[in-house]
Amino acid sequence: MEHCSSKAERQFALAAACFSLGFCVLFGALSRLLNDKMSLKYTATFYSDVAADRSAYDLLFFGSSHIFNGLLPLTLYEQTGIFSYNLGMTNEYPAVTYWRLRDALNRSDPQVVVIDVYRALAAEKMPKTENDLGLLHNSLDGMPLSLLKARAVADILDATPLDFDGVFNYLFPLAQFHSRYDSLTEDDFHPYRLESRGAMPLRALTSGAPLPQTEEQAPLGSTVGEEYLRRMLSLCEQEGVAAVLLVLPYQATAEEMARLRGVAAIAADYPNAAYLNLLDAGVVDPAIDFSDADGHLNTAGAVRVTRALGSWLSDRYDLPDHRGSEAAAAWEQNVASVRSQHLSTLAGTTDRNTALMLLRGQDLAFTLRLPADALSDPVTAALVADLDTDSAPAADSEGLLACASPGAPDIWPDGPGLVVFDPNTGEELARAAF
């Protein structure tokens, strides 16, 4: 009888384990289907690509919205041929980035990772406000379920074994988004293929104030920020991956600029790490390169910064140029599709300065007509000065200021506005009136 009882118990335990496993798989699948989709949208392409080929990406970007909005893998590909993916996310703190980096390096073999250090200024691991905890889903929901993810959530939230509800909410987002079942569409059942390779370019313009003129340097001054930067650099050393601690341009205060310079001392302690400060480098013009008052880069500013980084990477690392390869065909399709989206936005805007910002850095031919007094607006003047024109704007027969890019077709807007052409074929691509 005792033997039978023991056998029955083992069978019951096995059945319970199978049920639990099946439940987790089903619950995880439903969570993935019913979550808010932002995280999946921006990371699904990465995970599917590295599942097929661990070496699909030469370089990965990590960090906050500054890098999420500010570095463009397609621009980097066009310039250098490097295959990169932007794994940055809104409001992401270094503790979160560390675990996402660990997960990515478990699944892929990049040669270089670039880490945005902006949030390392914060004095805490991550604020526990309702808004911050909500935004944490953006970073974590796309990460496949694993023991590492469970460890990540526990660490980020400083969870104890009794904090089951909080941890469960991030491991199985169904708990948070179960009510989304009635808004499902056919698209929810198909895998995402994000054409921007993880980046979210911002097609808006807000004129920012000049950055402070200071050369002061101070320690980072954040114990938790430094801890997680060092954990990331140690991880990269262990994995044989080069790491770049990057300061991106934003509307920083003098005090923030001084503390960010202190990150250089952290990078100097690791043989395979580097520090690059593009905030100090004068790469952007705050009057025309930001999208909002917080200093997130707009599309034109992101192109500037991406190209500056691309030149620096090409000088420092021997990363492959994939242009012309079989794998590059998908990237060329991405470039064409994202450009089409960009042109659609340009054609739909009636704001003069936004339209001019959208024209910059896009390798497009154009003809442009402006009101006679347009250049009295310093933002308009700065935008026009940054364009590649065959001559300075001059009054035409209707009293409007007119100029064109070199070799542009002799086709002009009917009034204030611009006409955009393919620089190789002369095909008209878009018009904007303002």
The larger pLDDT score, comparing residue 214 to residue 411, is at 411
Rg (CA), the chain: 25
Average pLDDT over residues 181-209: 75
Task: Based on the fold, state whether residues 247 and 322 are members of the same structural domain.
Answer: yes
Residue 43 lies in a domain: yes
DSSP notation for 299-316: HHHHHHHHHHHHHHHHHH
Q: Is 77 helix (H, G, I), strand (E, B) or coil?
A: helix
Alpha-helical regions (H) of 349-389: 352-359, 378-385
Per the model's pLDDT, the better-predicted residue between 182 and 106 turns out to be: 106
Asked if the structure places residue 335 within a domain, the reply is no
Q: Are residues 274 and 169 in the same domain?
A: yes
pLDDT-derived band at 172 (thresholds 50, 70, 90) equals confident
Confidence category of residue 5, pLDDT binned at 50, 70, 90: low
pLDDT, mean over the chain? 90
Which two three-digit tokens encode residue 167? 């941890």
End of a domain among 260, 295, 328? 328
232 and 361 in one domain?
Answer: no
Same domain, residue pair 365 and 220: no
* CA nearest to 89, candidates 229, 200, 250, 232: 200
Phi then psi for 366, rounded to 5 degrees?
-160, 160
Q: Confirm whether 5 is domain-assigned.
A: no
Residue the block writes with tokens 């402006």: 370
Q: What's the whole-number mean pLDDT along residues 96-109?
A: 98
Q: Do 199 and 292 have their domain in common?
A: yes
Are 305 and 378 members of one domain? no
pLDDT of amino acid 34: 47
Residue 83 is predicted with a pLDDT of 98
Q: Is residue 8 part of a domain?
A: no
Task: Please check whether residues 272 and 421 belong to one and the same domain.
Answer: no
**Domain ranges, residue 385:** 352-433
Are residues 175 and 292 located together in one domain of the fold?
yes
> What pLDDT score was predicted for residue 19?
47
Mean local confidence (pLDDT), 14-39: 50
Confirm whether 94 is domain-assigned: yes
The CATH number of whichever domain residue 193 belongs to comes to: 3.40.50.1110
pTM (predicted TM-score): 0.88
| % residues pLDDT > 90 (the chain) | 81
Question: Judging by DSSP bridges, how do beta strands 84-86 and 59-62 pair with one another?
Answer: parallel
Question: Could you give the number of structural domains in the chain?
Answer: 2
Q: In what order do the strands lie in the sheet with 273-277?
A: 84-86, 59-62, 112-116, 242-247, 273-277
Q: Are 237 and 365 within one domain?
A: no
The tens digit of pLDDT for each residue in 380-421 reads: 999 999 999 999 999 999 999 999 999 999 999 999 999 999
324 and 357 in a single domain? The answer is no
Q: Scan for tokens 């988004």, then name that residue.
A: 177
Taking each helix axis from N to C end, the angle separating 73-80 and 328-348, rounded to the nearest 10 degrees, works out to 120
Q: What is the pLDDT of residue 36?
A: 53
Residue type, 353: N
The answer to whether residue 414 is domain-embedded is yes
**Whether 306 and 362 share a structural domain:** no
In a domain, 336, yes or no: no
Q: How confident is the model at residue 300 (pLDDT cuts 50, 70, 90)?
A: very high
Three-state DSSP at 192 gives coil
pLDDT at 372: 97
Looking at 295, 328, 361, the residue that finishes a domain is 328
Q: Is residue 125 part of a domain?
A: yes
120/105 Cα distance (integer angstroms): 21
Q: Are residues 283 and 390 in the same domain?
A: no
